[in-house]
Structure 1
Amino acid sequence: MNTDARKDTAPELLRVTGLRKTYRTGGTEVVAVDDLSFSVRAGGALGIVGESGSGKTTTARMLIGLERPDAGEILVQGRPLAASVRGRPARLARAKAVQIVFQDPYLSLDARLGIGETVDGVLKLHGMSDRAARAARVRELLAQVGLGDREAAALPRRLSGGQRQRAAIARALAVEPAVLVLDEAVSALDVSVQAQVLNLLSDIRRDTGIGLVFVSHDLAVVRYVCDEALVMYRGRTMEHRPVDELLTDPHHPYTRLLLASVPRPGWDPDSISRRRRELDPLTTATEAAAGA
């Protein structure tokens, strides 16, 4: 569901330029991300799309500091994101710049604490010392994601998958980050619950001006919530355009393959497999022509 929240005149929250990440495995260098560039403005939402191994999750991990890029620059609100941080003030500043919501919130929520306690702990860590003010802010944040007092008192295991994901979003919003990264954040949810969470994210970015980076393999999800889509294949950008244009008139063979891979009446898996085998030389030729 696209909105007009992202304007060309809106402040730029995130700029990524020339990002590169390699790994060594078995004595061989593997390029996970290669020369990746994009930007997100206030209230904007970018979808990074690709299959497993495309480099999209590595990109997300670099944005939040879990991986260090070999080259390139990440700017948040015009300031470089440090490759590494030391000391509590630097860690808190990094957390306020970019937050992430993972695919499985159960693994990232403290199983021993109620949801309200978890959010309260984040507020306290970031300097809100007044207990009454924190309690009011916890209620506000949980209400923003559609949770109430009952869910606030519950342990994560007592909540549904959708409720846990809402709680994870509330916790991320507690520090008022400039950018929120969502790494396959709805892929484990039922379709009806996915729609609820996606509507929630659309409302949040409209109301707060936060920038979203939505990492997903699901083109329908990206189309619903994002303004722009960036398609990655083997670490490189194949296409980066407004999402409706990209999904209705894909230019690159890999984007067309992704769209064709979605099951539908008349879907031909054998044809998809054949096109996939043909993809590598096509991709190489496209990149060579672009660099000529």
Structure 2
Amino acid sequence: MTALLEVTDLRKTYGGTTAVDGVSFTLPPGGALGLVGESGSGKTTTARMLVGLERPDSGSITVLGQPLGAQVRGRAARLARAKAIQIVFQDPYLSLDARLTIGATLDGVLRLHGQGDRVARAARIRELLGQVGLGDREAAALPRHLSGGQRQRAAIARALAVEPAVLVLDEAVSALDVSVQAQVLNVLTDIRREAGIGLVFVSHDLAVVRYVCDEALVLLRGRPVEHRPMEELLDNPDHDYTRLLLDSVPHPGWDPESIARRRRAA
């Protein structure tokens, strides 16, 4: 079975600083991988390389057996890459045009990718919004008239409009209230199950990653330190940094000062 996504030995530097070094993983059809680490761990730089927003210094990225080139030239190549892999950012305003209704935004994506006439596109827009728990009212609304959770679900619908093989979510629920986080995570779980889409879930929050992902890759200062099935990693972590991340989640007897000291020493 062809992997949805294969990443081999990605490396990225900025001046004399190494942001990512030696990141490798394989995502099977319908799989979900968590890229985990705190700020500066390299997880967002990795995500940006996956979707072509950053160019790796070395390494390779393959989607459905096809290499994604470092440079994408021409309209057809850009559309093909967009169809292969999409990203949802932490802030949906980065992907939603504040001047357009949600329905108009989705219609623009569908027209760009040559999907159907106006009637067919309208039906597809209703289908996409239904997938993420939105309806006609939200379709007619501007982004500023929606809640944070509704905007993020609209951003997910926009990413799904081209039927990508892989969806990258970069801290996509970290700015949401806990109850809204749960709604969005349930949406992602349902879409993964129904559409067979692969997820790369970028987060600092292992509790969130646990809910969505089968496995996790832990990054520390750009380098992988642990890559294991989710339950194994949570129940019996190998690396001190993974244990630090787990201990950073508030719990009875939690000592934030001790966590801060351990973080400085990591």
Is the shorter-chain TM-score for this pair beyond 0.5, marking a shared fold?
yes
Give 2:8's aligned residue: 17
2 CA distance for matches of 1:267 and 1:133?
A: 54
- Paired-residue identity, %: 79
1:187-202 equivalence runs, <5 A: 187-202=174-189
Alpha-carbon displacement from aligned partner over 1:167-218 (angstroms, at most 9, x marks no partner): 0010100001010000000001110010010011000000000000000001
Match of 2:251 among 264, 271, 275: 264
Provide the rounded CA distance (Å) in 2 between the counterparts of 1:219 and 1:36. Answer: 19
Bigger Rg over Cα: 1
> How many residues are paired up?
266
Amino acid at match of 1:30: T
Please show how residues 30-109 of structure 1 align to structure 2 within 5 Å: 30-109=17-96
In structure 1, distance between residues paired with 2:149 and 2:206: 20
Cα deviation 1:134-190 (Å, max 9, x = unaligned):
111111111111111110000000100010011001010000101000000000111
How far 1:273 sits from its partner (Å)? 2.9
Question: Helix, strand or coil for the counterpart of 2:4?
Answer: strand
User: What is the alpha-carbon root mean square deviation over aligned residues?
Assistant: 1.0
AA aligned opposite 2:258: S
Q: How far apart, CA to CA, are the structure 1 residues paired with 2:245 and 2:159?
A: 31
Structure-1 residue corresponding to 2:203: 216
Determine whether 1:233 maps to 2:220.
yes
> What are the equivalent positions in structure 2 for 1:119-138 lying under 5 Å apart?
119-138=106-125
- Other-structure match for 1:274: 261
* Structure 1 residue 129 displacement after superposition: 4.2
Where 1:12 maps in the other structure, the secondary structure is coil
CA distance in 2, matches of 1:224, 1:124: 35
Normalised to the residue count of structure 1, the TM-score between the two structures is 0.89
Q: How many Å separate the matches in 1 of 2:42 and 2:96?
A: 26
Determine the C-alpha separation between the residues in 1 that align with 2:93 and 2:217. 28
Q: CA deviation at 1:265?
A: 1.8
Out of 103, 114, 138, which is 2:101 matched to? Answer: 114
CA distance in 1, matches of 2:256, 2:89: 30
CA distance in structure 2 between the aligned counterparts of 1:153 and 1:264, rounded to whole angstroms? 42
Report the AA paired with residue 34 of structure 1: D
Structure 1 unmatched ranges of 5 or more: 1-9, 280-292
AA at the equivalent of 2:31: G
Question: What's the TM-score once normalised by structure 2's chain length?
Answer: 0.98
Runs of at least 4 residues off by over 2 Å? 273-279
